[in-house]
Amino acid sequence: MNSFFLILLILFAGAGLSFALGKISSIISGTVAFLSIAAASALFFTQIEMGSFIEFSLGGIQLQWGINSYGYLFGIIVLGLGTLASLYSISYMQNKERTGGFYFNYVLVIAGMTGIIFSNDFVSFFIFWEIMTWASYLIIIYSGKNVKKIGIKYMIFSAVGAYSMLTAIVMIKGTYDTFLISEAINSGAFNFVDNIYIPILLLIGFGVKAATMPLHVWAPGAYNNAPTSFTVIFSGAMSKMGVLGMGLVLGHIFTVDRSGNLINFFSQFSVIALQQTIMWLGGITAVIGTLYALIQDDAKKLLAYSSIAQLGYITVGLATGTKLGVMAALFLAVVHGIFKGALFMVVGAVERQAGTTDMTKISGLIRKMPYTFLTALISIIALAGIPPLGGFVGKWMLYEALITESNSYFLVIVIFFSSTAAFLYSYRFLFGLFLGQEEKETEHVKEAPITMVIPMLILAVLLVITGAFPGLIFAPIAQAMEFIGFKDVTWNMSVLNNVWGNEMNLTYLGITIAVVFASIFAFLTLKGLKGTRYIGTKDISTSGEIPYDNENLTFQIDFFQPFVRAAAPMYKRSMDKIWNELGNGLEALFNFTRKIYTGNGQTYALFVVVFLVLLLLLKDTLFI
């Protein structure tokens, strides 16, 4: 049997078997889900040959499945993270209700994303896209909470994206008489100057999954409402399907030469407008996500808004259309999948062991959950863009691309503001859960089970490796970029160069930082042996800030309130309010139409008579 069919067959069979066995045991059901995803991943990484494909017909429609260097990059994210997340999920979902249905949809989401990666035609792409969407919707509402507020919102935006994508596919078929993606691209379907509607409709569809402003409002609630073991792949992998689509479209809109400079269509105002619009939407998305992450008391919701911000950076990089910018975006996509997957695993472990993710109710877990803390520390360093981990590498490249290749100086300020403000919620996340004073309520807490700890530590190690040796990721990224139109993509292993002639060897930098950290750790440990003074949670320094009487400025609660007061005008503007007003307007319109379409047969008969009379009166005008 062909490897493409076999991989998908294993996943779909695993989904069905997990559902059936869920009635017996949640552990057995989860184990089957893990084994099916692991088996599919093993086949993907060992049996699939780059550039291979199969063609077949279904209902008279020519379909094509295959793998290219661009899809393979995202396959690493989906199946790599999916395997670790499914192992993690076995203990997380233990003893929960309806686990059969959960794992059924869990594996279906992985199957849908894998099918998207394999699809070389728009019909297969759309079918697998819908499988992914519907399965993820059923997991979002798994708990039965906030179904109308969160589940329906997710489906409305998903429907907008799906119909936009479907409309573009129909237009491609009508204009170019093909469903094959490669044929459509070669025929000029993504030529923005000649076909403005097709790229725009596709970008809307992909922008929904990538949570790009203003299509991002579904993401915080959906990420927070879903079981955390699924949020790992929801944020870490599924959001990358939107990135995959956006990169494919934008990469073929901007024709590039060997130096990475835009040519041919760059002089056209419409292309410039599209580029600047998407770049700024990405920048605004990053700022919005960061600002709202700052004010969250729940660690899981904090990470949800943080995911939106990180996806904003990726969108900016893709929209630059330059080699360095796109490489930064794809590098950040991979690294984001790793560190955000690890952080959601951390939150899930805390939730399982402590019973809550509310940072105002738990603290001081560093001694209780040391391995979980270690994962959180490494992941937060990567998220914040601190050397020597991969987040720094990606952001460095993005800054340089915006300054030296796109000349987007104001946008650099926006991105830098978002990245700098992220330090506040990063520190709060660490301090709130792990570094605060131990409380009596958490005396019973122990480290998470081994099946949860192992995936977290693997992701933490990967963050260290990708930071010290980014060339390991640059290699598949360079091949992926060449597939979407870039030529001669090069890089230097473990070295960052810039146009000013400077270079930074990340290996030496990493060793230096490790020595510094080890020295500080040793000093503090030896000093601590002399005695420890326990202090109250409000024994803090306000650094010159005079807190109000009703404010608690501990790191666990509201230390960032001065910043929130300064940014207060930004919090008054919410896309949720705008979408709600639009929804209320549509509801009023629909209520009006109900007065016309009453469901009464006599009324409809009257409409028919009036219509026929109008036809008779206007027959000479209408029918010439």
Per-residue model confidence (pLDDT) at position 10: 92
Which of 137-146, 237-246, 287-296, 585-594 has the weakest average pLDDT? 585-594
- Measured between alpha carbons, how far is 245 from 51 in angstroms, rounded to an integer? 19
Q: Both 485 and 585 in a single domain?
A: no
Q: Which residues pair with 121 in a beta bridge?
A: 180
Do 331 and 460 sit in the same domain of this protein? yes
Last residue of a domain, one of 468, 490, 512: 490
Between 263 and 158, where is the model more confident? Answer: 158
pLDDT beyond 60 at 506: no
Q: Kindly state the helix (H) or strand (E) to which residue 504 belongs, with its residue range.
A: strand 503-505
As a whole number of angstroms, the distance between CA 87 and CA 83 comes to 6
At a CB cut-off of 8 Å and minimum separation 6, what does 93 contact?
26, 30, 99, 102, 103, 227, 229
3-state secondary structure (DSSP) of residue 25: coil
Predicted confidence at residue 498, as pLDDT, reads 52
For residue 80, what pLDDT band results from cuts at 50, 70 and 90? very high
Q: Same structural domain for residues 482 and 588? A: no
pTM more than 0.85: no
Rounded to an integer, what distance in angstroms lies between the CA atom of residue 152 and that of residue 146? 9
Q: What residue has token string 């929960």? A: 96
What does the pLDDT average to over 460-475? 86
Tokens found for residue 524:
């503090």
3-class DSSP assignment, residue 258:
coil
Q: Which helix (H) or strand (E) holds 452?
A: helix 450-468
List phi, psi (to 5°) of 63. -115, 155
State yes or no: pLDDT of 259 exceeds 80: no
Same domain, 302 and 427: yes
Please, which pLDDT band fits residue 503 given cuts at 50, 70 and 90? low
- Does the pLDDT of residue 93 top 50, yes or no? yes
Comparing 163-172, 174-183, 602-611, the range with the smallest average pLDDT is: 602-611
Q: How confident is the model over 33-52, as a mean pLDDT?
A: 89
Shared domain for 480 and 579, answered yes or no, is no
- Check residue 599 and give its pLDDT: 65
CA distances from 182 to 62, 316, 476, 478 (A): 13, 25, 20, 19
Residue type, 451: T
Q: Which amino acid is at 420?
A: T
Q: Is 573 exposed, middle or buried (0-12, 13-18, 19+ CB in 10 A)?
A: exposed
Same domain, 486 and 610: no
What was the pLDDT predicted at 614? 79
3-state secondary structure of 262: strand
- What is the mean pLDDT of the segment spanning 491-500? 55
pLDDT tens sequence across 427-461: 888 888 887 667 677 778 888 899 999 999 999 99
C-alpha 198/C-alpha 205 separation (Å) is 11
The answer to which of 124-138, 477-491, 523-537 has the lowest mean pLDDT is 523-537
Residue 429 lies in a domain: yes
Q: State mean pLDDT over 124-138.
A: 91
Domains contained in the chain, number: 2
Closest of 561, 588, 483 to residue 69, by C-alpha: 483
Domain boundary among 490, 522, 548: 490
**Which of 490, 507, 540 delimits the end of a domain?**
490
Residues 479 and 582 both lie in one domain: no
Residue-level pLDDT at 108: 93
Question: Has residue 328 got a pLDDT over 70?
Answer: yes
One-letter identity of residue 240? K
Instruction: List the beta bridge partners of residue 57.
Output: 62
Over the stretch 281-325, which tens digit does the pLDDT of each residue have?
888 888 888 888 888 888 898 999 899 998 999 999 888 888 888
Above 70 in pLDDT, residue 499? no
User: What pLDDT score does 111 carry?
Assistant: 93
The pLDDT of residue 622 is 59
pLDDT at 143 over 80: no
In a domain, 158, yes or no: no
Q: What is the rounded distance in angstroms from the CA atom of residue 283 to the CA atom of residue 413?
A: 10
pLDDT (mean) for 140-147: 78
- Give the integer Cα–Cα distance in Å for 374 and 386: 16
Question: How many angstroms separate the CA atoms of 144 and 157, rounded?
Answer: 20
pLDDT digits (tens, 9 = 90+) for 183-219: 888 887 777 667 788 888 899 999 888 888 888 888 8
* One domain, residues 440 and 583: no
Do 592 and 471 share a structural domain?
A: no
237 within domain boundaries: no
Site of tokens 């999916």: 82
CA 460 distance to own-chain centroid: 18
Position 547 scores a pLDDT of 60
Lowest mean pLDDT across 34-38, 206-210, 507-511:
507-511
Q: Provide the residue range defining the domain that includes 468.
A: 254-490
Tell me if 236 is assigned to some domain.
no
How far, in Å, CA of 238 to CA of 110, rounded?
9
Rounded Cα gap, residues 279 and 272, in angstroms = 11
pLDDT at 262 (0 to 100)? 46
Is position 497 within any domain?
no
* Residues 373, 330 contacting (CB under 8 angstroms): no
Residues 342 and 476 in one domain: yes
Q: What angle do CA 293, 296, 299 make, to 5 degrees?
A: 90
Per the domain annotation, does 163 fall within a domain? no
Q: Is the Cβ–Cβ distance between 256 and 321 less than 8 Å? A: yes
Question: Quick one: pLDDT at residue 266?
Answer: 45
pLDDT of residue 131: 92
596 class by beta-carbon count within 10 Å (0-12 exposed, 13-18 middle, 19+ buried):
exposed
- 40 phi/psi in degrees, rounded to 5: -65, -40
**326 and 468 both lie in a single domain:** yes
Query: What's the mean pLDDT when you consider all of the chain?
Result: 81
In a domain? residue 454: yes
pLDDT in tens, 229-254: 999 998 889 989 999 999 888 887 77
Per-residue pLDDT of 341-376, as tens digits, reads: 999 999 999 998 888 888 878 877 888 888 999 999
Contact 293, 425 (CB under 8 A): yes
- The residue type found at 323 is K
Q: What is the pLDDT of residue 623?
A: 59
Contacts of 570 (CB under 8 A, 6+ apart): 287, 291
Q: Where are the alpha helices (DSSP H) in 22-121?
A: 26-47, 69-92, 99-118
Q: Average pLDDT for residues 374-390, to the nearest whole number?
A: 86
Tokens for 280?
């700024």
Q: Is residue 378 part of a domain?
A: yes
**Range from 54-58, 64-68, 453-457, 589-593 that averages highest in pLDDT:** 453-457
